[in-house]
Amino acid sequence: MTHLEPFGARLRRAMDERGPLCVGIDPHASLLAEWGLKDDIAGLERFSRTVVEAMADRIAVLKPQSAFFERFGSRGVAVLEKSVEEARAAGALVVMDAKRGDIGSTMAAYAESFLHKDSPLFSDALTVSPYLGYGSLSPAVALARESGAGLFVLALTSNPEGGEVQHAVRADGRTVGATMLAHLAAENLGEEPMGSFGAVVGATLGDLSSYDLDINGPLLAPGIGAQGATPADLPGVFGTAVRNVVPNVSRGVLRHGPDVGALRRAAERFAEEIRAAVAAA
């Protein structure tokens, strides 16, 4: 297996050079319709190709949502493979938003699908769910380390239902979310300039000062734009960890398509606002 430089180092460089913005590739049926495209393979392919063309040579991170490709079966997965390949070839890091989570050999197989360098779906990082216990992710952690990839672990998500699990208090007095953050801090201990094991933490959650977000790893922050959070909110939510935040915007950028120039301008506006907010923190 060809070894890449660790994901954390590659991400830090991309964020410094291109800004920290992550743009989703989320081909909802409604968004395809807004673009004047049919909800079929041809529409999916056109949408994905356009987003990659507009973004991949200038945005640090692209995040395809696997579900919107999988719903078309094998032909949709083929479009996803091509999108990942072309985005990475143009210089963007690809975070596959698949939120996989299982145990044993099944978790290992999910990891091989997205984190093995020889897989046609190989991505720079993968979103994963730790709610079968953090230890259930160990096959993905091991393969990510081996391949130079990373993980983003669901820790404090922006959906309202997440709190019933993530804010639950364990016998040791820590919340489940805080426990996940502590596991990630341990994975990233001593890594320079930043570890490869990040958390998903919603930008809409308000003051999180009761949580230790300084995990020496990236914090993928959904919720900017359509969900109501703004770049100016980031320092208040993330505090001293804001420099490691990768804010994710999907519909706020994508609704400006299918014009490539309009997509680029929308992304540049968000990137500038994010850069300014982080610099002022």
Tell me which of 38, 63, 82, 99 is the catalytic residue.
99
Say if residues 137 and 107 touch (Cβ distance below 8 Å): yes
The CA distance from 179 to 155, in Å, is 9
The CA distance from 153 to 128, in Å, is 5
Query: H or E segment at 183?
Result: helix 176-187
Where are the alpha helices (H) located in 212-254, listed in sequence order?
234-238, 251-254
Task: Give Cα 163 distance to the centre of its chain.
Answer: 20
Burial track 222-233 (b if 16+ CB lie within 10 A, e otherwise): bbbbebebbbeb
99 catalytically annotated = yes
**Residue at token pair 């003051």:** 207
The CA distance from 121 to 123, in Å, is 6
Which neighbouring-strand residues pair with 245?
219
Q: Which residues are catalytic?
A: 99
